[in-house]
A and B are shown apart, each in its own frame.
Chain A
Amino acid sequence: MLRGYRGFAHEFARTGSLRALWMQLRTGAAHVARRALGRDPNGDPIEVFLRNYAADGFRLPDAESAALSLAAEACLVCSLCSAECARVGGAPRIDPRDAVIAASRMAIDWVRLELPEPIATPCAACRACETVCPARIPIQRVQEWLAAPRA
Chain B
Amino acid sequence: MKAVVVGGGLAGSSAALELASRGAEVTLVCAAPGATALSWGTLDVAAASPLRRGGLPLRDPASGHPLAPIVRLHAVAAANPAHPYATLFRERGPEEEVKEAVAALDAWLAPSGLRVHGSLAQTRWLADVHGALRAADLAFSGAGEGDLEGAEEIALVDVPGLPGFEVRSALRTLAAEMAAVGLASRALSIVRLALPEALRDDAAQPARFARNLDADAARGALQDAVAALGAEGRLLLVPPVLGLDPAAGTRAWFEATAGCRAAELVGAPALSLAGFRLDRALGAALSRAGVERIAGRVERVEIEGVRVRGVQLAEPGPPSRPADTAMLPCDALVLATGRFVGGGIVERGGQLVEPLLGLPLHDLAGRRVDSLAANQLVRGDYEGEQPLFGTGVRTEMRLRPLGPDGLPRFANCFAAGDLLGSFDPARDRTGLGVALLSGHRAGIEAAAC
Residues of A within 8 A of B (CB): 76-80, 82-87, 89, 95, 97, 131-136
Are A80 and B37 in contact, CB atoms less than 8 angstroms apart?
A: yes
Q: Is B125 in contact with chain A by the CB < 8 A criterion?
A: no
Secondary structure call for the A interface: loop
Please indicate the chain A residues that have their CB under 8 angstroms from the CB of B270 in the complex: 77-79, 97
Are B31 and A83 in contact, CB atoms less than 8 angstroms apart?
A: no
- Chain A binder among B86-94, B112-120, B207-215, B402-410: B207-215
Are B33 and A134 in contact, CB atoms less than 8 angstroms apart?
A: yes
Q: Is B245 in contact with chain A by the CB < 8 A criterion?
A: yes
Assembled-state Cα–Cα distance A97/B273 (Å): 14
Please indicate the chain A residues that have their CB under 8 angstroms from the CB of B271 in the complex: 79
Assembled-state Cα–Cα distance A132/B282 (Å): 13
Q: Is B205 in contact with chain A by the CB < 8 A criterion?
A: yes
Assembled-state Cα–Cα distance A77/B275 (Å): 14
Q: Which of B223-270 contact A (CB under 8 A)?
A: 244-245, 269-270
Are B37 and A82 in contact, CB atoms less than 8 angstroms apart?
A: no
Please indicate the chain A residues that have their CB under 8 angstroms from the CB of B34 in the complex: 134
Are A87 and B205 in contact, CB atoms less than 8 angstroms apart?
A: no
Are B276 and A83 in contact, CB atoms less than 8 angstroms apart?
A: yes
Return the CB mask of B20-38 against A: 1 if under 8 Å, else 0: 0000000000011110011
Please indicate the chain A residues that have their CB under 8 angstroms from the CB of B31 in the complex: 136
Are B32 and A78 in contact, CB atoms less than 8 angstroms apart?
A: no
Across the A-B interface, the 7 shortest Cβ-Cβ residue pairs:
A86-B207, A83-B207, A86-B211, A82-B207, A83-B276, A86-B208, A79-B270
Cross-interface CB contact of A87 among B33, B211, B341, cutoff 8 Å:
B211
Please indicate the chain B residues that have their CB under 8 angstroms from the CB of A78 in the complex: 37-38, 269-270
Are B276 and A84 in contact, CB atoms less than 8 angstroms apart?
A: yes
Please indicate the chain A residues that have their CB under 8 angstroms from the CB of B363 in the complex: none
**Separation in Å of the B27 CB from the closest CB of chain A?**
18
Please indicate the chain A residues that have their CB under 8 angstroms from the CB of B211 in the complex: 86-87, 89
Task: Specify which of A82, A83, A87, A132 lies most central, judged by the most chain B CB atoms within 10 Å of its CB.
Answer: A83
Nearest B residue to A132 by beta-carbon distance?
A: B33
Please indicate the chain B residues that have their CB under 8 angstroms from the CB of A132 in the complex: 32-33, 37, 276, 279
A-B contact pairs, 13 of them (CB 8 A): A77-B269, A79-B206, A80-B33, A82-B206, A83-B210, A84-B276, A86-B205, A87-B280, A95-B208, A132-B276, A133-B32, A133-B33, A136-B32
Assembled-state Cα–Cα distance A85/B269 (Å): 17
Nearest B residue to A135 by beta-carbon distance?
A: B32
**Separation in Å of the B39 CB from the closest CB of chain A?**
11
Other A-B pairs, 15, CB within 8 Å; known A82-B206, A83-B210: A78-B37, A79-B206, A79-B207, A80-B37, A80-B38, A80-B275, A83-B207, A86-B244, A89-B211, A95-B205, A97-B270, A132-B276, A133-B33, A134-B32, A134-B341
Residues of B within 8 A of A (CB): 31-34, 37-38, 205-208, 210-211, 244-245, 269-271, 273, 275-276, 279-280, 295, 341
Assembled-state Cα–Cα distance A31/B210 (Å): 48
Please indicate the chain A residues that have their CB under 8 angstroms from the CB of B280 in the complex: 87
Assembled-state Cα–Cα distance A99/B271 (Å): 17
**Separation in Å of the A31 CB from the closest CB of chain B?**
32
Please indicate the chain B residues that have their CB under 8 angstroms from the CB of A84 in the complex: 276
Are A134 and B276 in contact, CB atoms less than 8 angstroms apart?
A: no
Are A85 and B38 in contact, CB atoms less than 8 angstroms apart?
A: no
**Separation in Å of the A23 CB from the closest CB of chain B?**
30
Cross-interface CB contact of B38 among A87, A131, A134, cutoff 8 Å:
A134
Assembled-state Cα–Cα distance A87/B280 (Å): 10
Task: Specify which of B31, B207, B208 lies most central, judged by the most chain A CB atoms within 10 Å of its CB.
Answer: B207
Please indicate the chain B residues that have their CB under 8 angstroms from the CB of A79 in the complex: 206-207, 269-271
Please indicate the chain B residues that have their CB under 8 angstroms from the CB of A136 in the complex: 31-32
Please indicate the chain A residues that have their CB under 8 angstroms from the CB of B295 in the complex: 131
Assembled-state Cα–Cα distance A34/B9 (Å): 52
Are B38 and A83 in contact, CB atoms less than 8 angstroms apart?
A: no
Please indicate the chain B residues that have their CB under 8 angstroms from the CB of A97 in the complex: 270
Nearest A residue to B37 by beta-carbon distance?
A: A80
Nearest A residue to B271 by beta-carbon distance?
A: A79
Assembled-state Cα–Cα distance A80/B210 (Å): 13
Nearest B residue to A81 by beta-carbon distance?
A: B207
Assembled-state Cα–Cα distance A86/B241 (Å): 12
Assembled-state Cα–Cα distance A89/B280 (Å): 15
Assembled-state Cα–Cα distance A49/B341 (Å): 37
Assembled-state Cα–Cα distance A104/B33 (Å): 21
Given A132-B37, A132-B279, are A83 and B269 neighbors across the interface (CB < 8 Å)?
Answer: no
Please indicate the chain A residues that have their CB under 8 angstroms from the CB of B269 in the complex: 76-79
Assembled-state Cα–Cα distance A53/B206 (Å): 39
